[in-house]
């Protein structure tokens, strides 16, 4: 009897082993990725700037339904990333600590979650990750299928990763509140772009020129030639009296201002606006929201319009194609390895980048 019992327990043991074996090796890729650790940077509380970013080893995330797992090739930073860390968008963002920041990524699809139709392993893509979850300062990230588009080989990973927040903000500002037609068929508008050498600004200048606008731009003295090379018709050094007053050298009144700088009151814009001129503020703070409300209530023809980016895949695809066709270029300020991503973070906080700051794993 005892022998029989041990035989059945042996059988049970073997069948368990076999089951374990099949579970373990049914999908080797999924298992190895889920078990694998990756290098990432995260912060654990508000504040602290670049010094508070910690290098960590964390599990590679798994794609849920309608998500893709990406092996990242490039990530670009946006000012909103460090503003979230600083606590400027609390209590909404980040959703929880620790937080792996950054949202604008390019990479290769490694794995697709259930229900994903448009992508397969091996596809090269560019994605906008959710600001709620972030995830860009890492070797791998999961992205929503609906905010992911294919990256053609003509567009490099860094050029593509630079596009989402900055490119889509410029595009949305110009086409929506400013009403510019980018095929150049609309009436010619006069447009002012402030902080034109930065991430959003350098795209706004190029897109406005595609829309046949007359473009006045402001930037620091060292970037005047750079902003002219993007197509701006007239460029003001913001530290000169004319630049500080935002006066067009040729006397133009602005139909729209793509306002990418900080700390300029509406009263400075007002005398330079055309009759129905709009200031589109891409980083609206409390005073901008107050001005927006006052102008609305008093039925003023001149308006301040706060812009809240709504990222859409079709707009990202549109921008990727403009880069592919050579109609818009991404200008890269600097590239940093993931191992030194805190240098990139410090550079973004400093606020003098020309174009976009890129991190590569």
pLDDT at 90 (0 to 100) = 80
Residue 253 has pLDDT above 80, yes or no: yes
Residue 3 has pLDDT above 70, yes or no: no
Rg over CA atoms, the chain: 25
Both 204 and 262 in a single domain? Answer: yes
pLDDT tens for residues 202-229? 999 999 999 999 999 999 999 999 999 9
99 strand-pairing partners: 43
Q: Is residue 321 part of a domain?
A: no
pLDDT tens for residues 129-157? 998 889 999 999 999 999 999 999 999 99
pLDDT at 67 (0 to 100) = 97
User: What is the pLDDT averaged over residues 314-336?
Assistant: 98
Rounded-to-integer distance, Cα 269 and Cα 53, Å: 38
CATH number, position 106: 3.90.180.10
330 strand-pairing partners: none
Both 336 and 302 in a single domain? Answer: no
150 strand-pairing partners: 125
Both 44 and 19 in a single domain? Answer: no
Both 230 and 346 in a single domain? Answer: no
Q: Is residue 315 part of a domain?
A: no
pLDDT at 269 (0 to 100) = 97
Count CA atoms within 13 Å of residue 338 on its CB side.
Answer: 24
pLDDT tens for residues 335-360? 999 999 999 999 999 988 999 999 99
Rounded-to-integer distance, Cα 68 and Cα 33, Å: 13
For residue 279, give the nearest of 300, 298, 249 by alpha carbon: 300
Q: Is residue 153 part of a domain?
A: yes
Domain count, the chain: 3
Rounded-to-integer distance, Cα 3 and Cα 291, Å: 88
User: What is the pLDDT averaged over residues 284-313?
Assistant: 90
CATH number, position 219: 3.40.50.720
Both 66 and 95 in a single domain? Answer: yes
Query: Across the chain, what does the average pLDDT equal?
Result: 91
pLDDT at 24 (0 to 100) = 43
Both 106 and 204 in a single domain? Answer: no
Both 261 and 213 in a single domain? Answer: yes
pLDDT at 185 (0 to 100) = 87
Both 62 and 106 in a single domain? Answer: yes
Rounded-to-integer distance, Cα 159 and Cα 333, Å: 11
Both 45 and 128 in a single domain? Answer: yes
In this structure, what DSSP letter does residue 51 have?
A: G
User: What is the pLDDT averaged over residues 9-19?
Assistant: 51
Q: Is residue 323 part of a domain?
A: no
Q: Is residue 266 part of a domain?
A: yes
pLDDT at 22 (0 to 100) = 42
pLDDT tens for residues 261-274? 988 999 999 999 99
Helices (H) and strands (E) in the chain, counts: 12, 15
Range of the domain at 112: 36-162+330-360
Residue 21 has pLDDT above 50, yes or no: no
Q: Is residue 317 part of a domain?
A: no
pLDDT at 7 (0 to 100) = 54
Both 171 and 302 in a single domain? Answer: yes
**How would residue 290 be classed by pLDDT, with cut points 50, 70 and 90?**
confident
Q: How far is CA 153 from the centre of its chain?
A: 20
**Are 330 and 168 spatial neighbours (Cβ–Cβ below 8 Å)?**
no
Both 266 and 352 in a single domain? Answer: no
> What's the pTM value of the predicted model, to 2 decimals?
0.89
**Are 192 and 216 spatial neighbours (Cβ–Cβ below 8 Å)?**
yes
Residue 278 has pLDDT above 70, yes or no: yes
Both 127 and 171 in a single domain? Answer: no
**How would residue 10 be classed by pLDDT, with cut points 50, 70 and 90?**
low
For residue 97, give the nearest of 48, 166, 33, 36 by alpha carbon: 48
pLDDT greater at residue 291 or residue 110:
110
């Amino acid at each position: 009897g005892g022998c029989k019992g041990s035989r059945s327990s042996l059988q049970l043991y073997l069948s368990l082993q076999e089951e374990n074996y099949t579970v373990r090796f049914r999908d080797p890729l999924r298992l190895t990725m889920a078990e694998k650790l990756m290098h990432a940077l995260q912060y654990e509380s508000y504040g602290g700037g670049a010094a508070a970013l910690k290098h960590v080893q964390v599990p590679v995330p798994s794609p849920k339904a309608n998500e893709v797992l990406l092996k990242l090739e490039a990530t670009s930073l946006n000012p909103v990333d460090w503003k979230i860390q600083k606590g400027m968008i609390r209590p909404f963002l980040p959703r929880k600590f620790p937080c792996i920041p950054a949202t604008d990524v390019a990479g290769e699809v490694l794995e697709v979650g259930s229900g994903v139709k448009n992508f397969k392993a091996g596809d090269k893509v560019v994605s906008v990750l959710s600001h709620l979850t972030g995830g860009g300062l890492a070797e791998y990230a999961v992205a929503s299928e609906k905010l992911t588009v294919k990256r053609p080989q003509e567009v490099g990973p860094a050029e593509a990763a630079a596009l989402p927040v900055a490119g889509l903000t410029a595009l949305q500002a110009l086409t929506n509140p400013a009403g510019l037609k980018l095929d150049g068929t609309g009436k010619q508008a006069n447009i002012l772009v402030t902080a034109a050498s930065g991430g959003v600004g350098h795209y706004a200048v190029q897109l406005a020129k595609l829309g046949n606008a007359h473009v006045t731009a402001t930037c620091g003295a060292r970037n005047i030639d750079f902003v002219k090379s993007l197509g701006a018709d007239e460029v003001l050094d913001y530290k000169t009296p004319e630049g500080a007053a935002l006066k067009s050298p040729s006397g133009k009144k602005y139909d729209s201002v793509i306002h990418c700088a900080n700390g300029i009151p509406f009263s400075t814009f007002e005398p330079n606006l055309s009759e129905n001129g709009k200031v589109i503020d891409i980083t609206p703070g409390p005073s901008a929201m107050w001005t927006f409300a006052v102008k609305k209530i008093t039925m003023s023809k001149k308006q301040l319009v706060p812009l809240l980016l709504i990222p859409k895949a079709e707009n990202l695809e549109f921008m990727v194609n403009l880069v592919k066709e050579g109609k818009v270029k991404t200008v890269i300020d600097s590239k940093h390895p993931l191992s030194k991503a805190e240098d990139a973070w410090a550079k973004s906080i400093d606020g003098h980048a020309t174009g976009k700051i890129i991190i590569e794993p």
